[in-house]
Chain A
Amino acid sequence: MNSRGPLGRGARLLIALAGIAALLFVLSACDLGGVHPIFPDPVSANGKNIYDTYVGISLMAIVVFVGVEAALLWVVIRYRRSAQPVGYVPPQVHGHTGLEIAWTIAPLVIVLAIAAYSFAELQKDFQPISNPQMTVIISGHQFGWDYQYENGVVVHQEGSLAAPVVPFVVPTHTLVKLQFRATDVIHSWWVPAVSGKTDAVPGYDNFSWLKIDQTGQWRGECAELCGAGHASMQIIVQAMDQPEFDAWMAKQKPAPSPSASPSPSK
């Protein structure tokens, strides 16, 4: 072994730390003591497909991450001066066209594959749907959400930091179209267990959908900074089986018509 000065010690520490980081990254594919490296279990079909896309990208990402970090580690271990013979003069290489073409094409192939995969998912789950079994107009305001059902019932989910907010109730096994509006500033409706977020923007309607096949309650929050009460704009989605949903609906008071939320249609 070569004599190791402070350089060698530093290099060894670097190797050890990079190794730990790589290990953590690989381990993070598993569940680490309450730290979840992946979305909550998806309960809606579109959320499930996003989840699968995330996993698909991760497979390629882990390969790239491990490969490149390993190359860096190898450079640290093998090509540091203390690991080279005394008086070693590195070869004066200025480039290699074949190699440079290879590492232009390899990332290109990887990103084209990821883009194609993502685009297929985009076409599947992010198109406006034409066959909803139910439509709910979700209107964001400072600071809360109003959910207007087709029969005129409006659930007011006023923001709160401490207390749980009033849940937005949907029936299970039902394709629900969500139509987003905003009456003041931009908000963003996000319940990670259901699906990705959709912005509620003043001036036009934005769309998403959900179809939940199990009963339960899931939490979400407003994801677009909308003022001092932004953090209080909690969301709770509750899915009930059809009979319970009907009973719940019967207890709601229909809103005075026309609906309270001004609808600035295009």
Chain B
Amino acid sequence: MATTTLPRPKAYDDTFFKPISLWLTTTDHKLIGIMYMVTSLISFVIGGIFALIIRLQLSQPNLRIVDAETYNQLISAHGVTMIFFFVTIFVTGIANYMVPIMIGARDMAFPRVNLLGFWLIPVSIILYYCGFLTGGGLNAGWTGYAPLTEKAFQGHSLGVDFWAMSIIVWAISGIMASTNFLTTIVALRAPGMRFSRLPLFVWAQISTSILLLIVGAPLAAAMILVEFDRQLGTQFFTTAGRPVLYQHLFWFFGHPEVYVMILPAFGLISEIVPVFARKPIFGYMSMVAALFGIVFLSMTVWAHHMFTVGMNTYVEGFFMLMTMLIAVPTGIKFFNWIATMWWGSIDFTVPIKFVFGFLATFLIGGITGIYLASVPVDTQLHQSYFVVAHLHYVLFGGSVFAILAGIYYWFPKITGRLLNRRLGEWNFWTVFIGFNGTFLIMHTLGLEGMPRRIWTYSNEAWAATNMIITISSFLIAISILLFLINVIHSWTQGEIAGNDPWQGNTLEWATTSPPPPYNFERVPPVRSFMPVRDLREAGELAEHEPVPA
């Protein structure tokens, strides 16, 4: 059949090694997506190094590897880096790459806004770390509670100011990306790609974008008020003001942010499970409904971070109930994933192993969340190592496992080469064992009374547990090292993947790996939410095969 091949710009070849000028000026959503993901993985390594120093310091009682002030800066930098500069940025990046392809679009709706939105991220990261050049970075935890961040308690250090500016820039970038995603998905869908046929990863991106659009601005507002207090002498959150107001503003962003990090992970899982189980997703509509249930509920739960500040018990009861109700849509998703695999024929490749890692550990994070939502029990668990364990079960066991699943799944599409399977198996088992070894017994430290954010402790009863945690945390580090070696090695040396190594369902598998700048020469017909599978089963995939350049 006669197919004309579109001319390809000379700068685009099928490898990654493009001139630096192209990387710096590109508005291509795929290159921007890659830059987002690479930036976030660099942040992951930096934040991980902070974590290892923290674990060394806590491995035994009364250690003096770092001093208290340095320790407080380390935990703050670890939290900010992992949450703002790693997980959120990574999921934005992978969506940037995949969403336009999955809906059959050529690019994002606003390519130059995309360019600006991405380049604000390095600005935000550099701003944050500039604080360390001015007498010390943020030292009040990633939440930066007032009035500890006020001038009276900070000396001459400008770390808090740089943190506040960094977060404002970050929020602006997030709002740009969210607007762009929503416009793209509404306006640029291919013919036949109705809303009821959108891949669930795209639905997850819609819900995430709505959430970030709503809560990004209050975060920036809180940071601006912190700056007013510090630089203009206002009294919003000072000792003479209302410090608890800061907590309300921060957590109105802070809790939905958890879902900004986990909803794309849910989307990833919903894409990977049907492909490897060879079954369509179970309950497509209830999966979509559950996403929006979570979006709504997540904005009504923020004060569950504040059950010890002394609120009216009926107010506390409301936030407790709304928090627990999130278990309902999350449960729907969980059971639907299991039902998708039931009667399936599951091909145990590396991506699906990470999916099982996600399911097995995220469940624990969900269950401990119920304990924390219960007001009386929370007064014991709040600000203890139980919370630290819980949040790592949802963020690491949840988001990061899903991100790793997503990387193993989409790396062949993005680079044209498969990640090495043997290294991938080692990566999975070491991170799974290291993760649970680190964070499962950490719950007991909190129950025994170890508060979070203490730089050292004298209680000998906590020594053995802390040592096991520290050793396990280094196993995670080794595992991530294996992962990075795998990525760097396979990028140039990996097995050639072909267009569709997994027999995928969604449109990205109908184009080349990596896709050309324009994504599709002709967008395949879309007749369901699994367009590529439809073509394969109808025996029509070959005639829609892209022609190699």
Contact = CB atoms under 8 A, between A and B. Distances in A.
Q: Do A and B bind each other?
A: yes
A119 interface: yes
Most buried by B among A40, A79, A183, A193: A79
Contacts of B413: none
A50 B379 contact: yes
A55 B241 CA distance: 39
A98 B328 CA distance: 16
A123 B425 CA distance: 51
A122 B68 contact: no
B529 to A, nearest CB: 10
A79 B341 contact: yes
Contacts of A49: 376
Interface string B440-452: 1101100111111
Contact of A14 (B242, B327, B356, B465): B356
Contacts of A196: 308, 376-380, 382
Contacts of A71: 338
A223 B384 contact: yes
A38 B317 CA distance: 24
Contacts of A191: 449
Contacts of B440: 21, 24
A223 B376 contact: no
Given A107-B331, A221-B449, A122 B317 contact: yes
A249 B22 CA distance: 78
A199 interface: yes
A40 B240 CA distance: 37
A234 B321 CA distance: 34
Nearest to A42: B380
Contacts of A204: 310
A225 B145 contact: yes
A204 B378 CA distance: 22
A29 interface: no
A248 interface: no
A220 interface: yes
Contact of B68 (A65, A76, A229): A229
Interface residues of B, number: 99
A197 B381 CA distance: 9
A216 interface: no
B243 A231 contact: no
B359 interface: yes
B443 A107 contact: no
B345 A184 contact: no
Interface in B139-177: 139-141, 145, 147-148, 152-153
Contacts of A190: 383-384, 449, 451
A50 B376 contact: yes
Interface string B334-375: 111011011111111000010010011001100100110011
Contacts of A188: 308, 383
A61 B327 CA distance: 12
B364 A81 contact: no
B457 interface: yes
A17 interface: yes
Nearest to B247: A186
A34 B309 contact: no
A221 B455 CA distance: 13
A221 B450 CA distance: 8
Interface in B253-304: 277-280, 282-286
B308 A199 contact: yes
A227 interface: yes
| 9 A-B pairs closest in CB distance | A196-B379, A231-B454, A107-B331, A206-B310, A111-B324, A118-B374, A192-B449, A95-B283, A103-B335
18 contacts: A7-B347, A54-B377, A61-B370, A79-B345, A79-B346, A81-B348, A91-B279, A95-B284, A96-B283, A104-B331, A114-B370, A115-B321, A118-B377, A119-B321, A162-B62, A201-B244, A223-B383, A225-B145
Interface of B: 62, 67-69, 72, 139-141, 145, 147-148, 152-153, 239-244, 277-280, 282-286, 308-310, 313, 316-317, 320-321, 324-325, 327-328, 331-332, 334-336, 338-339, 341-348, 353, 356, 359-360, 363-364, 367, 370-371, 374-380, 382-384, 425, 429, 432-433, 436, 440-441, 443-444, 447-459, 461, 464-465
Given A161-B62, A199-B310, A231-B455, 17 more contacts: A65-B363, A75-B338, A75-B344, A90-B279, A93-B280, A96-B283, A111-B370, A126-B313, A162-B458, A184-B153, A196-B379, A201-B243, A202-B239, A203-B242, A221-B449, A222-B451, A231-B457
